[in-house]
Chain A
Amino acid sequence: MSAIWQGCLRYLEAELTEQDINTFVRPLHAEESPTSLLLLAPNMVLLQQVRNRFMDRIENYVRAFAREDLSIDLRVGTQPLAPEGSPSSPPQTETRAPDFGIDLNYSDRLLPKFTFDKFVRGHSNELAYATAELVSLQAGNDDYNPYLIYGGVGLGKTHLMQAIGHAILQNQPNTSVVYLHCEQFVQSLISALQHNRIDSFKGYYRSVDVLLIDDIQFLAGKERSQDEFFHTFNALTGRQRQIVVTCDRYPKEIEGMEDRLKSRLGGGMYCAIDPPSTETRAAILLSKAEQRGIDLPNPVAWFIAEKTVGSVRELESALSRVIMQANVGGQEIDVDFARHCLRDIVPVRDRLLNADQIKSAIAAYYDVTKEDLDSQRRPQAIALPRQMAMKLLHELTQMSLASIGESFGGRDHSTVLYACQKIQKRLDENDEQTQADYRNLKRKLLG
């Protein structure tokens, strides 16, 4: 194992909690070469966590205790399990392309799946899509610079932005396209400041041809970063270099963002992406299914589109679940099957509307009346059903403890809390009757 990394681990062990170490740091595999320290993370999710939460500490350590000039590269990769004692073979890495300079290697990869042809169009994103295509053909044109795409999470902003990058690279492969999340911009600035490399930072960001920055709202309240971004922005647009940014709202509404930056961001072309209609959602599902080579029946797509609330990402994950379960069970996908697969999602949406159902179900299950549950009487026969009702209301609805208490004949929140703890305790103590009741009721309520 790399000696530098071993030292770094010791340092991190003193700095971080045991859990962070064992969960995020220990699974990293380190390879040391004369010029660089390569850290391999098992997957992108853990990589992001390491980068966002611990990278500054790792860099601090390496710079201070090992070598000023060592570059640190964090990638997704696997180290083949070599038998002990045998020389380790070189790691198989999945390179994050393209490799921009050594010290400021913060850019993320454009994901291959985010291209124009895989983007599902609908009324809600028509304009944003068309503009994106224009931008990709006329990169740097003042009319579209910057191009700002805004809207809620999971609506395809990142997809569209990366599609612009892909299209430009396809037409002009030598263009330097940099995509990064705003947070990484901030991180690289901090790191450049710490290591007295602000000039390389400026040089790097001002030399790119196309700068794609995701979630610009992360700049809010970070004055130094805004300042640096503002200058980068001016330098790039001044030289007809294209900037594309995404934001979760219209920039004017971001609190803690300098006015001059707000006006710059709104100074080119901007388009909103609205949540897709059910029709678009169904179309998205059909397209995603097709990409995976699955023949998804129309009614199933409509069923999922209607029943899943939330972002396109959630829609996609619902689809994934149906497909995977169909693969495992070798079953044909129809509406009933989809309903079965998504049973824990679908009723979630319905149950929010109706807390009364829970009380009725419990009253029926324990053979008491709903009035008994709400009454002030406290015989044992009612205490347990009432506690169970409070527990389930707490678990299955968005109601606060106080409002749950209120709905049981004006009890206060501590009574509800006590009830929840009491039931949880019985569950934890493997009280079979309580466990059975709890399971049955949940099954009954969640379908």
Chain B
Amino acid sequence: MSQLILPLGSNPRHTFANFCTDGNEGILDALESLPRQGGSLWLHGPQDSGKTHLLQAVCHQAKAREVSAAYLPLKQMRELGPEALDGLEQCLWICLDDVDAVLEQGDWEQRLFGLINQAMDHGASLLMAARQPAESVSVALPDLRSRLRGAVSFPLHPLDDERQSEALRRRAHSQGYDLPEDAVRYMQRHVVRGLGQLCQLLDQLEQASLSQQRRITVPFVREVLAQPPTSESRL
């Protein structure tokens, strides 16, 4: 028997406040000054370097400023077809994640090109994220290639252990509790891949902590890691 828990989750969780920059503080300034500027930004870096976090944070910010925004994870939207991009130019902030996933994908490039042009006409801001710099992705449409390369480029780097730990603790803090240092170290030693997985583990720990009414400590983390992941309960 396991106790189900009330959906007390306070999404969204990706904000500028809980983003750890690694030697590139300029990026936050650039993103926060978006509405006045218009134009387009290209964020690039390997997995776990914070691209998705920043794009989601922009959408979160949009809510506070009452600006229309959309986050478009193109890799996952690929199956919906390129028509999914139609009409989105009406949003003022358009965040395109995994842009490389739809490049050289027939209609997608065409629609993407159209969206970028219309967005520019509307004075909207475009944020694009990909693993590679815009110069090294291969694009079939020459016009699209030049649009992408015209974006202001920002490289992002994955965090080292110490900053990773800081990022986790900030995340915990934004959820209203303090995450003990030794628990973070234990998590880092036992999770193989990157911040993304650590955050997933933290989510899982939070749920388990509510369900079992226990605090997140090293023994608790060890127990949770030993269990197969359970699906999150909802009301």
Beta-carbon contacts under 8 Å, B56-82 to A: 56, 59-60, 62-63, 66, 68-73, 77, 80-81
Closest chain A CB from B215 CB (angstroms) = 23
Bound complex: CA A429 to CA B194 (Å) = 13
**Interface segment, one of A40-48, A117-125, A390-398:** A40-48
Closest chain A CB from B49 CB (angstroms) = 9
Contact: A430 with B46, CB < 8 Å?
A: yes
Which residue of B11, B46, B85, B110 is within 8 Å of A324 (Cβ)?
A: B110
Contact: B87 with A22, CB < 8 Å?
A: no
- CB of A13 within 8 A of chain B? yes
Contact: B46 with A321, CB < 8 Å?
A: no
Q: Tell me how many residues of A have a C-beta within 8 Å of chain B.
A: 42
Which residue of A26, A41, A317 is within 8 Å of B63 (Cβ)?
A: A26
The interface residues of chain B lying within 8 Å CB-to-CB of A321 are: 106-107, 110
Q: Tell me how many residues of B have a C-beta within 8 Å of chain A.
A: 51
The interface residues of chain A lying within 8 Å CB-to-CB of B11 are: 13-14, 16-18, 21
Contact: A27 with B80, CB < 8 Å?
A: no
Closest chain B CB from A96 CB (angstroms) = 15
Beta-carbon contacts under 8 Å, B96-140 to A: 104-107, 110, 122-123, 131-132, 136, 138, 140
Bound complex: CA A325 to CA B142 (Å) = 11
Name the residue on B nearest A443 (C-beta): B138
- CB of B88 within 8 A of chain A? yes
- The 0/1 profile, CB within 8 Å of B marked 1, for residues 358-379 of chain A is 0000000000000000000000
Bound complex: CA A428 to CA B47 (Å) = 7
- CB of B227 within 8 A of chain A? no
Which residue of B12, B70, B83, B104 is within 8 Å of A27 (Cβ)?
A: B70
- CB of B141 within 8 A of chain A? yes
- CB of A141 within 8 A of chain B? no
Contact: A320 with B107, CB < 8 Å?
A: yes
- CB of B234 within 8 A of chain A? yes
Residue positions of A touching B, CB distance < 8 A: 1, 9, 13-19, 21-23, 26-27, 29, 41-46, 49, 76, 78-79, 81, 317-318, 320-321, 324-325, 328, 341, 344-345, 427-430, 435, 439
The 7 closest A-B pairs by CB, nearest first: A42-B87, A22-B71, A43-B86, A428-B46, A18-B12, A45-B84, A22-B59
List, sorted by A's number, 7 A–B pairs whose CB atoms are closer than 8 Å: A9-B63, A22-B95, A78-B87, A324-B110, A328-B110, A428-B131, A429-B46
